[in-house]
Amino acid sequence: MVTHSHLSLCQTPYYSQPVEIVERKGIGHPDTICDALAEELSRTLCQFYLDNFGLVLHHNVDKALLWGGSSQAKFGGGEIILPMEIFLAGRATSEYKGISVPIDDLVEQSCTRWLKANFHELDPEHHVKLHSLIRPGSADLVELYLRQEATGIALANDTSCGVGYAPLSEMERIVLQVEQTLNSVETKVAYPETGEDIKVMAIRSDEDIELTVSCAFIDRYITDVDDYVQKKLQLARLVEQTAKTLTNRNVKVTVNAADDVDTNSLFMTVTGTSAESGDDGEVGRGNRVNGLITPYRPMNMEAAAGKNPVTHVGKLYNIVAQQIAFALVQKLDEVTEAYCYLVSRIGSPIKQPMIVDIRVSLPDGGNIETIRKSVDDIVNDKLERMDQIRQALVSGTLLVY
């Protein structure tokens, strides 16, 4: 039961603001690649620990760096000159009760599996060089982690905060849908020239929406400049059509704004990601746990990807805060908008935050006291069900990027 909680009204509802900025870095963006590979490694470690020991052991593999390679793209197909290099660093239990954990093999397996599953032109065996830099965790944090085995109570791995909000705005839903549509299997079959490195930046000014889309085209599917221009126009039409399914506002789309057709300066790649040449990546520099970058909304700087899903509140609190906010909007008719802020203390039970701060929007004349008990019930229910978050993270049904 949460004892330190606070409930207040939002002063200015988000939906009434005249300007909105929303961004998403797609799955092939160098930063998102780092997030995904760190998270995939955590999932792989969890599965190994569960299969061999019956519990998830201590790990935090939330440090990853992508060092871009070198390539020469050209119409009809270019070449990779130097592979991109990916460094996965962090801490993980490498031995338990006399059984060794093959960390380096798990790094190789998890990264190769994810890259093959999410890119249609990148070959991880030839285009990527992996570096495993995982070491055992510090004795005090490992002991703190294992203490839950004796008590049955998961203890916070850090003093940290988490934030969440609901509902998603129209713009936020548009940005998510556009990137997911462009990176869907169906789109890659219909438009194989589109790579996975896609970024969507959206600006709304009153009733006008402008979408600036960056997409790494794949050179072997492009015959010449005219073909590139035509395929870019096709992509812009697809983006506009996708956005129009979610809004009645005016929509303007620009694709690859930095292109200079006269000098053949075009966003073409060999593999479908800028990571092959000229761009680097790092965990935590991209999307928050809801898949978006939203400067007009509360965010924190935690890199959720790769943190253990059992005790690391830097991951869990951002997820559960989001779940609490959505539950408040869905279950309480009076609540049109909700924000949730949570703070943990290292060594304390993760289901007992130091403070829970809830902020809601109600219709004019709404009385916050009439929903106080319902809010408390929803908050406590979601905190008690945090074990379900762990299960969803390990199974891969819940993503944090």
Domain carrying residue 116: 30-151
Q: Report the CATH number that the domain containing residue 363 is assigned in CATH.
A: 3.30.300.280
Q: Give the burial string for 83-99 (b: 16+ CB within 10 Å, else e).
A: bbbbbbbbbbbbeeeee
Residue 24 belongs to some domain of the structure: no
CATH number at residue 63: 3.30.300.10
Report how far Cα 279 is from the mean position of its chain's Cα atoms.
19
Whether residues 305 and 217 fall in one domain: no
Domain contains 210:
yes
Q: Within a 10 A sphere around the Cβ of 372, how many other Cβ atoms?
A: 13
- Predicted confidence at residue 125, as pLDDT, reads 94
Q: Do 90 and 188 sit in the same domain of this protein?
A: no
| pLDDT value at residue 3 | 55
Is 25 inside any structural domain?
A: no
What is the rounded distance in angstroms from the CA atom of residue 349 to the CA atom of residue 351? 5
Distance CA 217, CA 319 (A): 33
What is d(CA 289, CA 302) in angstroms, rounded to the nearest whole number? Answer: 10
pLDDT of residue 1: 59
Q: In a 3-state reduction of DSSP, which class is residue 138?
A: coil
DSSP labels for 259-278?
Answer: -BGGGTB--EESSSSGGGTT
142 located within any domain: yes
Rounded to two decimals, what is the model's pTM? 0.94
DSSP secondary structure string for all residues of 16-44: G-SEEEEEEE-TTSHHHHHHHHHHHHHHH
Task: Give the pLDDT confidence score for residue 150 in this predicted structure.
Answer: 72
* Residue 164 and residue 94 in one domain: no
Residues of the chain with pLDDT under 70: 1-4, 141
Residue 138's pLDDT is 77
**Whether residue 194 is found in the same domain as residue 342:** no
The answer on 301 and 272 residing in a single domain is no
Instruction: State the Cα–Cα distance between residues 33 and 199, nearest whole angstrom.
Output: 13
Q: Which pLDDT score, from 0 to 100, does residue 4 have?
A: 66
* Same-domain status, 251 and 347: no
Under 8 Å between Cβ of 235 and 191? yes
Inter-axis angle of helices 372-384 and 386-395, nearest 10: 50
**Do residues 11 and 91 both lie within one domain?**
no
The pLDDT value given to residue 357: 97
Query: Which H helix or E strand runs over 166?
Result: strand 161-166
Count of residues making up the chain: 401
Are residues 109 and 237 both part of a single domain? Answer: no
Task: Say which CATH number the domain at 255 has.
Answer: 3.30.300.340
Side-chain half-sphere exposure of 14, counting CA atoms within 13 A = 23
Confirm whether 37 is domain-assigned.
yes
- Total number of domains constituting the chain: 3
Query: Could you count the other beta carbons within 10 Å of the beta carbon of residue 221?
Result: 19
Beta-bridge mates of residue 28: none
3-state secondary structure of 184: coil
Q: At what angle do helices 386-395 and 30-53 cross, to 10 degrees?
A: 110
Cα–Cα separations (whole angstroms), residue 111 to 41, 180, 212, 310: 7, 21, 30, 22
Q: What backbone torsions phi and psi does residue 20 show, to the nearest 5 degrees?
A: -145, 140
CB atoms within 10 A of CB 35: 28
**DSSP characters for 348-367?**
SBTTS-SEEEEEEE--TT--
